[in-house]
Amino acid sequence: MKNKLAIVIPYYKIDFFEETIKSVASQKDKNFSLYIGNDNSPDDPLHIIKKYLKDDEYKYFYYKENLGGRNLALQWERILENVKEEWFQILGDDDELPENFVQSFYNSITQLDEQGINVIKFPVKIIDENNNFIRQFSFGKNLINRYKFLISKINHSALSSLSENIFRTKSFLKYKIQQFPLAWHSDDCMIFEYAENDRILYCEDTFVFVRMSEKNISSMINNSSLKETATDEFYTYIISNYYRKFSSSQKNIILKNLKKHFYYTQHKLSVRTLLKIYLDNFVKGLKLTKYLF
């Protein structure tokens, strides 16, 4: 059986990398290709990789230029340029997979192909530095509308990160990855844009362990300014390109959270964003002008 799935690990931090590699090596279904891209890390991971995998079981790339320090999305794209498989997952170098993860993906292939779905998402189990379970999240339905998904991220009612998604490679080639600072919200845009037929398949047969620690970007508090800037750019991008396609109630949620964001951050609304809102609804645009200057 030809591999249809690529598991891509952008490597930089060694702290939990052994747990990540061990989980990939323990997959019951071995029909996947593994790509590991070393983003000029100070810690050589090869002794860990070779401990669990044979030389023909992975493709390893060492990059002299550190791109993740500029923007993680650049590092993701650099590795993805090597992928030939039809589907890919970007797995964090501190996240883990249960042993039936790849198997569950292949069990979903028929539905994905028959319905032309480009994104498959799995439930999340959050773990800490010591592998202690913190919490979990599930959307609880087989198909997720992409507009409802994005609204759930904007109003913070859903939990979603990058590792628990598998994408069709042709979607990456079409849309690439939006390079917001720290790649904050870049995964949200990937999920939303790649699901261009409005549907995301949600598979509850398995899950992904996502690690929260002081080492990862989500948990850090010293980068809040960059996260705020990324959120500015995210709102600008979504409103500029997709605002009119949301329902009236969804637009209200976007605007409510947009106002809240600019109120608390004291950032300024871009003219481009405001013009899109004006064109859709003059009154609502007028109410936002106070955030422009």
Write phi, then psi, for 166 (nearest 5 degrees): -120, 135
52 vs 241: CA distance, rounded Å: 45
**Same domain for 192 and 283?**
no
**Same domain for 16 and 90?**
yes
Question: Looking at 211, 236, 264, which one is the last position of a domain?
Answer: 211
Number of domains into which the chain is organized = 2
What are 166's two structure tokens?
């598998």
DSSP state of 197: T
Overall average pLDDT of the 46-71 stretch = 97
Number of other CB atoms surrounding residue 69 within 10 Å? 12
In sequence order, the 6+-apart residues with CB closer than 8 A to the CB of 115 are 197, 199, 201
126-132-138 Cα angle (round to 5): 25
Tell me the sheet residues that pair with 38. Answer: 11, 62
41 vs 63: CA distance, rounded Å: 9
Host domain of residue 282: 224-291
Segment 264-293, tens digit of pLDDT? 787 776 766 766 776 777 656 666 676 554
What are 283's two structure tokens?
């009154």
Segment 7-19, tens digit of pLDDT? 999 999 999 999 9
Does any domain span residue 218? no
Segment 206-264, tens digit of pLDDT? 999 999 986 655 555 567 889 999 998 999 899 889 998 999 999 989 988 988 887 77
Q: Would you state the pLDDT for residue 7? A: 98
Segment 94-142, tens digit of pLDDT? 999 999 999 999 999 999 999 999 999 999 999 999 999 999 998 988 9
Q: For residue 28, what is the domain's CATH number?
A: 3.90.550.10
Q: For the whole model, what pTM was predicted?
A: 0.91
**Same domain for 176 and 202?**
yes
**Same domain for 118 and 255?**
no
93 vs 46: CA distance, rounded Å: 13
